[in-house]
């Protein structure tokens, strides 16, 4: 393996993305409410709570869902916060323990009126309250779709944990295939449908499936490139495309990041030049056309939203995010020991 570099360069992947930064006008009022709601559960110790506060997931929701109503934006905020709870509590647990948490959160989705058992991890009640709020302001189409998407998401996180159990290194393509689920884009995209009613036969149109999958690849590549430094320092980079490229190609981190940037560029060109125009040209009835246009615009906005949040929050680069966004160079962190979150 080549020598470890002292600095790494984060490719500027969205320099030509056709969607500019937008933000939901309810961000400053609703995001703090959602964050305060989550704090009531005391789901974290001091260290994890500090990490949560730095992430500002309400900002991610505001950037990802700029056109949603105040009511629907709150559901989006709560989902982003729920993701963090589940992610933080499962990140270093063995597969069997993650399976237990996955089953708890699915049971809360499927039985939202059931009182959660005493002593159960907080993720159960957090999920239940999130889902009750979503049910009160959403279409039946959204509800059915979200349940399926959430099941696939939590199952994929279990699979990722089992990879950790056996220190399994996937191929780059295998990684991206699993990442289409572990990144949480499918439930996140469903939030775009809170007030919409897109029929299943339209939703399953091959070009829309391809558009969702390719945008998810873009999100995954951006996320892996941004999070690589933090994850390699924590020794939790088995599910990071940069590490996998390094292993497959026998290259250093800088070269792997450049190769990941090239993979991103190929997908971005395909979305902008092929998939987006084809999706907009779909022949659907007048009762679906407006909803579909809104949904496609929401999908196309996601890469920009994710990119802006990556640098505007303190999730990956601390207070240095805006500088990194401009200069793209960061010092490579030393490795450190990571402890599991108590649940």
Residue 2, pLDDT above cutoff 80? no
Q: Structural domain of residue 217, as residue ranges?
A: 23-331
Whether 60 shows a pLDDT value over 60: the answer reads: yes
pLDDT at 7 over 80: yes
Query: Does residue 95 contact residue 158 with C-beta atoms inside 8 Å?
Result: yes
Higher pLDDT, 47 or 278: 278
Residue 292 Cα distances to 150, 191, 193, angstroms: 22, 14, 9
Tens of pLDDT along 319-341? 999 999 999 999 999 876 544 43
CATH number at residue 262: 1.10.600.10
Cα–Cα distance, 291 to 324 (Å, whole number): 37
Residue 14 has pLDDT above 90, yes or no: yes
pLDDT mean over 114-131: 98
Question: Is position 12 within any domain?
Answer: no
Q: What is the pLDDT of residue 104?
A: 99
Q: Is pLDDT of 187 > 50?
A: yes
Q: What is the pLDDT of residue 342?
A: 37
User: Number of structural domains, the chain?
Assistant: 1
Tell me, yes or no, whether 17 lies in a domain. Answer: no
Residue 239 falls inside a structural domain = yes
Note whether residue 5 is domain-resident.
Answer: no
pLDDT given at position 338: 45
Least confident of 3-17, 108-122, 148-162, 281-295: 3-17
Instruction: Please tell me which residue, 208 or 335, carries the higher pLDDT value.
Output: 208
What per-residue confidence (pLDDT) applies to 48? 86
Q: What's the confidence (pLDDT) of residue 340?
A: 42
Say if residue 172's pLDDT is above 50.
Answer: yes
In a domain, 85, yes or no: yes
Whether 73 is in a domain gets the answer yes
Asked if pLDDT for residue 1 goes beyond 80, the answer is no
Alpha-carbon span 319 to 99, nearest angstrom: 35
Structural tokens at position 58? 């309400």
Using pLDDT thresholds of 50, 70 and 90, give the confidence band for residue 47: confident
Does a structural domain hold residue 1?
A: no
Q: Looking at the domain assignment, is residue 319 inside a domain? A: yes
Per-residue pLDDT, averaged over 280-286, amounts to: 97
């Amino acid at each position: 393996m080549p020598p470890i570099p002292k600095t790494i360069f984060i490719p500027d992947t969205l320099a030509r993305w056709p969607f500019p930064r937008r933000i939901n006008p309810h961000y400053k009022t609703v995001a703090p409410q959602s964050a305060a709601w989550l704090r009531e559960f005391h789901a974290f110790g001091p260290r994890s709570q500090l990490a949560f506060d730095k992430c500002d997931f309400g900002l991610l929701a505001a950037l990802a869902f700029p056109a949603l109503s105040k009511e629907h934006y709150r559901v989006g905020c709560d989902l982003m916060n729920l993701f963090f709870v589940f992610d933080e509590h499962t990140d270093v647990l063995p597969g069997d323990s993650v399976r237990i948490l996955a089953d708890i959160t699915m049971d809360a989705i499927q039985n939202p009126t059931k009182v959660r058992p005493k002593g159960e991890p907080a993720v159960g009640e957090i999920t239940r309250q999130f889902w009750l709020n979503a049910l009160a302001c959403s279409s039946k189409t959204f509800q059915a779709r979200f349940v399926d998407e959430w099941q696939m998401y939590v199952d994929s996180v279990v699979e990722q944990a089992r990879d950790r159990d056996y220190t399994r290194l996937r191929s780059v393509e295998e990684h991206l295939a699993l990442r289409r689920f572990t990144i949480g884009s499918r439930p996140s995209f469903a939030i775009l449908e809170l007030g919409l009613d897109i029929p299943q036969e339209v939703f399953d149109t091959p070009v829309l499936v391809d558009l969702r999958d390719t945008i998810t690849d873009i999100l995954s590549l951006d996320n892996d490139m941004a999070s690589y430094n933090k994850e390699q320092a924590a020794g939790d980079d088995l599910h990071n495309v940069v590490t996998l490229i390094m292993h497959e190609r026998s290259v250093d981190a800088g070269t792997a990041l450049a190769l990941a940037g090239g993979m991103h560029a190929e997908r971005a060109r395909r979305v902008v030049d092929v998939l987006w125009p084809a999706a907009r040209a779909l022949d659907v009835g007048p009762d679906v056309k407006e909803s579909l246009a809104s949904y496609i615009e929401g999908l196309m906005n996601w890469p920009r939203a994710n990119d802006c949040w990556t640098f505007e929050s303190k999730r990956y680069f601390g207070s240095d995010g805006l500088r990194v966004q401009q200069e793209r160079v960061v010092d490579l962190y030393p490795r450190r020991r990571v402890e599991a979150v108590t649940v």
